[in-house]
Structure 1
Amino acid sequence: IEARLPDGQGFEPTVSISTKKQGDKVVIKVKDNGIGIPQEVLDKIFQPFFTTKPAGQGTGLGLSLSYDIIKAHGGELKVETTSGKGSVFIIQLINQSA
């Protein structure tokens, strides 16, 4: 989303979160209206210390840690992205109903 901000031009950054039960899983979607993730870096985004930000503006650990935590709980973290339209991060966790 930050990559779109310099344009100004009436752009309003948006992040939306949705949840739903799907069989024995809970699916959480986090969607933004940014510029999307370039295909050439898509395979690297869950790697530790990977960042597209300038030095000093991020550690590159956020997605890596999220991926590891979700995986440790038996879940999955995936991303769908469209150039110029944003990305959707999809978290699937096993439903642990009480």
Structure 2
Amino acid sequence: MRSSKNIPDTELRKEHISIIQDNSSGISASIKEKIFQPFFTTKPTGSGTRLGLSLSYDIIKAHCGTTQFESTQEGTLFTIALPLS
């Protein structure tokens, strides 16, 4: 996992970076391109609204930010970058 200690000071002044990591079994390759789509879910019908990642992605994008993720069988790491200015 990255920490702010690994990011040069010049980058810290330009954007805020948040890193969220879990230790799940990861996101399968077959659904990686779908996870930010509205109403996409791997949960059973009637469970949740299916908007969480889609809304988060759109809000971050509206603020000129980026969302990236890396996923392996050991877990998933989301990196969110938002400009400071």
User: TM (normalized to structure 1)?
Assistant: 0.73
CA 1:19–1:93: 2 relative to 1, 3 Å: farther
Summarize the alignment of residues 85-96 of structure 1 with structure 2, pairs less than 5 Å apart: 85-96=74-85
* Identity, % of aligned positions: 49
Highest RCO, 1 vs 2 (Cα 8 Å, sep ≥ 6):
2
**Quick one: distance in 2 between partners of 1:46 and 1:31?**
17
**Displaced runs of 4+ in structure 1, greater than 4 A?**
none
- Report the counterpart of residue 56 of structure 1 in structure 2: 46
Summarize the alignment of residues 33-72 of structure 1 with structure 2, pairs less than 5 Å apart: 33-72=23-62
CA 1:19–1:94: 2 relative to 1, 3 Å: farther
Which amino acid in structure 2 is aligned with residue 42 of structure 1?
Answer: K
Task: Decide which structure has greater strand share.
Answer: 1
Which amino acid in structure 1 is aligned with residue 63 of structure 2?
Answer: H
| Cα shift readout 1:14-45 (whole Å, capped 9, x = no counterpart) | xxxx8636611111000000110000000000
Quote the RMSD (CA, aligned, Å).
1.6
**Quick one: distance in 2 between partners of 1:67 and 1:41?**
16
Question: Which runs of 5 or more residues in structure 1 are unaligned?
Answer: 1-17
**1:36·1:82 contact (CA, 8 Å) conserved in 2?**
yes
